């Protein structure tokens, strides 16, 4: 009989995995998550395994330590089965920007799996693992989950340690969890959320026992459906799933009401100024001198330039250029400073509804279902895929994409809760569960 790792590789027709260890990594044979198989996005550190971030620049880099989330998963007996493919450094919405080839959507091979955690979503959708870790900066867990028909959860900013997650935009980045099985997702969340001395943005708030203590109804919940999000839908199926979800929630005793988030048109410009600014700063560490691949040159400056030029793909270069621009003297006030102020207004707009008694927001996760390869080759068209997910990231709110069947494919609906109210999300998800 072949070892599990070889079987996994043979089954991966989707290019979902970039690295598979000879044997699944396990540090305990018992524990709460014993027997659960977990795939890890290739921007999250697993000791002794490659950590490429989908980039040529880090093609030869081996991680010297475990990310906190990875260590916590191993500590409760789960098995790590491999590292998953992704858009380079987390920048993208289709996995077409990986330096190591496209990932196919297991539901339809002509379509993208979404991004940037497309490998994690495809691995889970294809049944190659029970759960996958991803990272979500503006939607990178929720959007691929919607495209591949699985759950994709991003916690409140500060719930899960970012130690060992390669930074893209630090004020937005969160580790997220994908699974076709809501209960397994919740179990993993319970084990990896919490304070970490190695990440001073993590919260000391206690982690509720979500897996056992959740109420089993949505009775009395007030759910707001933002009109601007419905207006931004491009494919009617994405509207249909929201309508189906409203019906289900109402049947469970919740009330659903139309609300307005007038700043919605400003979400994407704000998100793309902040993420590029932070990325340009975070990615300056990749200079060919300390990490990854070096392109030799006679002078230091030429070595740095050549290493970055050969190592980074087009989209990463575009973000670094944009980010450097919005931070530069003369443009800082006009772009970056303004964006941080608008970010606060966007956050306040959500807080206003929550303090008004709205418990949860319900939106489509994406404007369209999974699109075809090459369909969104213009950067601005691609950026449009984040239209419904970026606001929760800017506001630091917890959110999940819930898979809903529609006309042979699947689409996602998104639930957004107040800070640290993941319980409301998980509770409501049970009413919308497809699996
Ligand atoms: N698609 C978004 C972007 O390219 C989201 C990325 C992410 O969440 N990592 O910025």
Mean pLDDT of 164-180: 98
CA–CA dist 50, 187 (Å, integer): 27
- The secondary structure of the chain in percent helix, strand, coil, rounded to multiples of 5, reads 40, 15, 45
Q: What is the DSSP letter of 372?
A: B
Q: How many CB atoms lie within 10 A of CB 251?
A: 10
Evaluate: CB of 138 within 6 angstroms of ligand 1: yes
Beta bridge partners of 53: none
Residue 171 lies in a domain: yes
Any atom of ligand 1 within 6 Å of the Cβ of 275: yes
How does DSSP assign 13-81, residue by residue?
Answer: TT--EEE--SS-B-S-SSSTTTT-EEEEETTB--TTSB--TT-GGGTT-B-SS--HHHHHHHHTT-EEE
324 domain residue, yes or no: no
| CA-proximal residue: ligand 1, atom 10 (nearest) | 91
What average pLDDT does the chain have?
95
Which CATH number is 15's domain given?
Answer: 3.90.1300.10
Q: Which mutation among 53, 90, 174 tests ligand 1's pocket best, with the greatest number of atoms within 8 A of CB?
A: 90
Burial class from Cβ neighbours inside 10 Å (0-12, 13-18, 19+) for residue 119 reads buried
For residue 295, is pLDDT > 60? Answer: yes
**Residue 433: per-residue pLDDT:** 66
- The answer to whether the CB of 152 is under 6 A from ligand 1 is no
User: For residue 320, is it within any domain?
Assistant: no
If you measure from the C-alpha of residue 389 to the centroid of ligand 1, how many angstroms do you get, rounded to a whole number?
9
The pLDDT of 174-195, averaged and rounded, is 97
φ, ψ at 350 (rounded to 5°)? -65, -45
* Whole-number CA gyration radius for the chain: 20
* pLDDT score, position 1: 38
pLDDT of residue 4: 52
Instruction: List the domain range (segments joined by +) for residue 356.
Output: 2-262+348-429
Q: Is 165 left (phi over 0), alpha (psi -120 to 50) or beta?
A: beta
For residue 290, pLDDT over 50 is answered with yes
Assigned domain for 136 exists: yes
pLDDT score, position 434: 46
What is the SS3 assignment for 396? coil
Nearest-angstrom CA–CA distance, 49 and 346: 39
CA angle 198, 121, 393 (to 5 degrees): 50
- Tokens representing 365 are 């996760």
What number is the average pLDDT over the span 330-359?
A: 97
Helix (H) or strand (E) holding 133: strand 131-136
| Residues paired with residue 372 on neighbouring β-strands, in sequence order | 111
* pLDDT at 90 > cutoff 90: yes
For residue 116, is the peptide bond before it cis, meaning its omega torsion is within 30 degrees of 0? yes
User: Looking at ligand 1, which atom is closest to the CA of residue 169?
Assistant: 9
Give the Å distance between the CA of 140 and the centre of ligand 1.
5
Q: Is the pLDDT of residue 61 over 60?
A: yes
- Examine residue 153 and state whether it is found in any structural domain, yes or no: yes
Map residue 185 onto helix, strand or coil.
Answer: helix
CA of 110 relative to ligand 1 center, distance in Å? 22
Structural contact between residues 425 and 176, judged by C-beta atoms closer than 8 angstroms: no
- Residue 321 Cα to ligand 1 midpoint, Å, equals 17
Tell me: the pLDDT tens digits for 200-238? 999 999 999 999 888 778 999 999 999 999 999 999 999
- CB 193, CB 426: distance < 8 Å: no
Quote the DSSP letter at residue 156: -
Q: How far is the CA of 152 from the centre of ligand 1 (A)?
A: 14
311 lines ligand 1 (CB under 6 A): no
Is residue 158 lining ligand 1, measured as CB closer than 6 Å? no
Exposure string over 52-70, b if 16+ CB within 10 A, otherwise e? bbbbbbbeebebeebbbbb
Query: Whose alpha carbon is nearest atom 5 of ligand 1?
Result: 138
Q: What tokens does 252 get?
A: 């469970």
Tell how many helices (H) and how many strands (E) occur in the chain.
15, 11
Query: How many distinct structural domains can be found in the chain?
Result: 1
Confidence of residue 85 (pLDDT cuts 50, 70, 90): very high
Would residue 268 count as lying in a domain?
no
Q: Are 112 and 147 in contact (CB under 8 A)?
A: yes
For the CA of 385, the closest atom of ligand 1 is 1
- pTM for this predicted structure: 0.97
Average the pLDDT over 28-51 and give the result.
95
User: In the predicted model, what is the mean pLDDT of residues 152-166?
Assistant: 98
Residues classed as catalytic: 41, 116, 140
Half-sphere CA count of 405, side-chain side, radius 13 A: 5
For residue range 93-119, list pLDDT tens digits in order: 999 999 999 999 999 999 999 999 999
- Region of 15 (left: φ > 0; alpha: ψ -120 to 50; beta: rest) is left
| CA atoms of 192 and 66, how far apart (whole Å) | 13
In a domain, 250, yes or no: yes
Ligand 1 pocket residue status of 139, Cβ below 6 Å: yes
């Amino acid at each position: 009989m072949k070892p599990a790792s070889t079987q996994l590789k043979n089954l991966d027709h989707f290019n979902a995995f970039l690295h598979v260890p000879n044997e699944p990594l396990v540090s305990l044979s018992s524990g709460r998550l014993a027997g659960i198989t977990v795939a890890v996005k290739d921007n999250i550190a697993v000791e002794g395994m490659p950590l490429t971030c989908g980039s040529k620049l880090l093609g030869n880099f081996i991680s010297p330590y475990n990310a906190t989330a990875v260590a916590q998963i191993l500590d409760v007996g789960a098995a790590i089965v491999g590292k998953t493919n992704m858009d380079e450094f987390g920048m993208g919405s289709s996995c077409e920007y990986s330096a190591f080839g496209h990932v196919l959507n297991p539901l339809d091979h002509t379509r993208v799996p979404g991004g940037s955690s497309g490998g994690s979503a495809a691995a889970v959708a294809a049944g190659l693992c029970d759960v996958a870790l991803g990272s979500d900066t503006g939607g990178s867990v929720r959007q691929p989950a919607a495209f591949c028909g699985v759950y994709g959860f991003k916690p409140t900013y500060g719930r899960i340690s970012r130690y060992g997650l390669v930074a893209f935009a630090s004020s937005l980045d969160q580790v997220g969890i994908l699974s076709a099985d809501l209960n397994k997702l919740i179990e993993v969340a319970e084990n990896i959320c919490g304070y970490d001395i190695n990440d001073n943005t993590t919260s000391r708030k206690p982690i509720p026992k979500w897996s056992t203590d959740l109420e089993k109804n949505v009775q009395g919940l007030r759910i707001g459906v933002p009109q601007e999000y419905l207006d931004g839908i491009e494919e009617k199926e994405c509207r249909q799933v929201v309508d189906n979800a409203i019906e289900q929630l109402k049947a469970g005793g919740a009330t659903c009401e139309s609300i307005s988030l007038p700043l919605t048109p400003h979400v994407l410009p704000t998100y793309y100024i902040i993420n590029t600014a932070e990325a340009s700063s975070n990615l300056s560490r990749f200079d060919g001198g300390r990490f990854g691949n070096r392109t030799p040159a006679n002078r230091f400056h030429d070595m740095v330039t050549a290493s970055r030029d050969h190592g980074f793909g087009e989209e990463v270069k575009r973000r670094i250029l944009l980010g450097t621009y919005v931070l530069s003297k003369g443009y800082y006030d006009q772009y970056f400073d303004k964006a941080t102020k608008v970010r606060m207004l966007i956050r306040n707009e959500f807080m206003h509804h929550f303090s008004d008694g709205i418990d949860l927001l319900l939106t489509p996760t994406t404007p369209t279902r999974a699109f075809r390869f090459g369909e969104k080759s213009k950067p601005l068209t691609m950026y449009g895929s984040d239209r419904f997910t970026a606001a929760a990231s800017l506001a630091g709110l917890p959110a999940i994409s819930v898979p809903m069947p529609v006309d042979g494919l699947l689409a996602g609906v998104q639930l957004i809760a107040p800070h640290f109210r993941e319980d409301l999300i998980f509770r409501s998800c049970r009413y919308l569960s497809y699996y």
